[in-house]
């Protein structure tokens, strides 16, 4: 599963694996793919440094990258406290009432609140980059479009490729104009923030629009046959995220959530603004139903919604409140039916890819794999 881009980066398979877990990122790279560590949850530079040190020690010298969340335009002088003050009291009351209705325990006195969604703030992302550029990362990806021009230049000065996610041709062309090296065409089926165009339609559109830039296909991909289809559509690789959530190296800290993922079908996700304020595909739960229903107050725009629900989501996860328990995940969740190691996932991907290529060769009147 090699392409020009995978050869350029020195990886065996053109499989780029996004994950918030350093153990998964390292395992992806060891298996011959390209591990990409999601940085949005790191609010303290020392925490990111600790995990990049761990990847360095366990990736066996294989290449890896980092995914950040930063806006292309800077907003000066805005702090988290300033943003918190903009959240209406009615929305806070809705959160309190919903948690009480499901019996979600209050945090213990003096207990630190859960993970705060502050990685979207530009200064947090810049602090992450100050750490990351001291490591031999080969790719910097941004989940909110093209990063600021000075960040692109800083990456290029270090021979680091820059990738950006796009849900439409319009977004992809903006990335190309901004000097981005790799465009990730993320289809509607994908987990997390995603647009409205399906991967099968979006990928060839983006490939044609930004030629000769390499394009990675994302969204609904979890088998070798789908990898072959993505390459047939002109992509130079695939960007996979959801499939790693149920690997043995992942650390969800919630057996109940793992069970829900393994039991879910491809129709058990919903594209909802409940988590961050932007449409993000996730498991459908009574929490998403409450926010999306007619009796709710309506979600707030990003980043207000994320800050509003961060502590609530942490409590739901800590106490494993099953009706409310969810996570961002794509429609490929229907194929995620067992826990297995990252290497086993790659073994299945390569076997499926070979079968698909053999099938196409037979149809085309050729014998043997290409």
Q: Over the stretch 324-345, which tens digit does the pLDDT of each residue have?
A: 999 999 999 999 999 999 999 9
Would you list the domain boundaries of the chain?
Answer: 4-71+120-250, 80-114+253-324
Residues 6+ apart with CB under 8 A from 232: 360
Give pLDDT tens digits for 80-91.
Answer: 677 788 999 999
Q: Which fold has domain 4-71+120-250?
A: TIM Barrel (3.20.20)
On whether the CB atoms of residues 128 and 39 are closer than 8 A, the answer is yes
* Residue 119 predicted with pLDDT over 60: no
For tokens 């919630």, the residue is: 254
Give pLDDT tens digits for 282-337.
Answer: 999 999 999 999 999 999 988 789 889 989 998 999 999 999 999 999 999 999 99
CA nearest 117: which of 61, 181, 42, 46?
42
pLDDT at 125 (0 to 100): 84
Mean pLDDT over 103-124 rounds to 69
pLDDT at 121 (0 to 100): 67
- Residue 241 to residue 191: CA distance in whole angstroms: 7
* Residue 362 predicted with pLDDT over 70: yes
- Residue 217 to residue 182: CA distance in whole angstroms: 11
């Amino acid at each position: 599963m090699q392409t020009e881009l995978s050869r350029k980066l020195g990886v065996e398979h053109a499989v780029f694996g996004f994950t918030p877990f350093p153990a998964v990122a390292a395992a992806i790279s060891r298996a011959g793919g390209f591990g990409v560590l999601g940085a949005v949850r790191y609010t303290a530079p020392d925490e990111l440094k600790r995990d990049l040190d761990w990847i360095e020690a366990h990736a066996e010298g294989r290449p890896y990258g980092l995914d950040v969340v930063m806006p292309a335009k800077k907003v000066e002088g805005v702090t988290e406290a300033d943003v918190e003050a903009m959240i209406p009291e009615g929305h806070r009351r809705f959160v309190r009432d919903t948690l009480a209705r499901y019996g979600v325990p209050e945090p213990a006195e003096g207990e630190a609140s859960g993970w705060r969604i502050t990685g979207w703030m530009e200064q947090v992302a810049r602090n992450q980059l100050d750490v990351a550029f001291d490591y031999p990362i080969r790719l910097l990806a941004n989940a909110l479009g093209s990063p600021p021009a000075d960040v692109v230049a800083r990456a290029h000065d270090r021979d680091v490729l820059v990738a950006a996610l796009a849900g439409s041709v319009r977004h992809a062309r903006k990335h190309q104009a901004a000097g981005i090296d790799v465009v990730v065409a993320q289809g509607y089926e994908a987990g997390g923030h995603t647009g409205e165009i399906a991967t099968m339609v979006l990928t060839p559109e983006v490939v044609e629009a930004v030629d000769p830039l390499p394009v990675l296909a994302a969204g609904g991909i979890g088998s070798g046959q789908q990898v072959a289809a993505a390459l047939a559509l002109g992509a130079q690789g695939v960007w996979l995220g959801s499939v790693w959530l149920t690997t043995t190296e992942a650390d969800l800290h919630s057996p109940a959530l793992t069970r829900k993922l393994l039991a879910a079908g491809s129709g058990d996700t919903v594209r909802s603004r409940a988590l961050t304020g932007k449409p993000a595909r996730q498991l459908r739960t009574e929490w998403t139903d409450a926010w999306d229903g007619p009796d709710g107050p309506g979600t707030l725009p990003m980043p207000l919604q994320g800050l509003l629900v961060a502590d609530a989501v942490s409590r739901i996860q800590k106490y494993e409140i099953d009706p409310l328990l969810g996570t961002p995940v794509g429609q490929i969740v229907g194929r995620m039916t067992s826990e297995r190691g990252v290497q086993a996932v790659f073994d299945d991907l390569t076997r499926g890819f070979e079968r698909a290529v053999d099938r196409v060769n037979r149809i085309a009147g050729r014998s043997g794999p290409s």
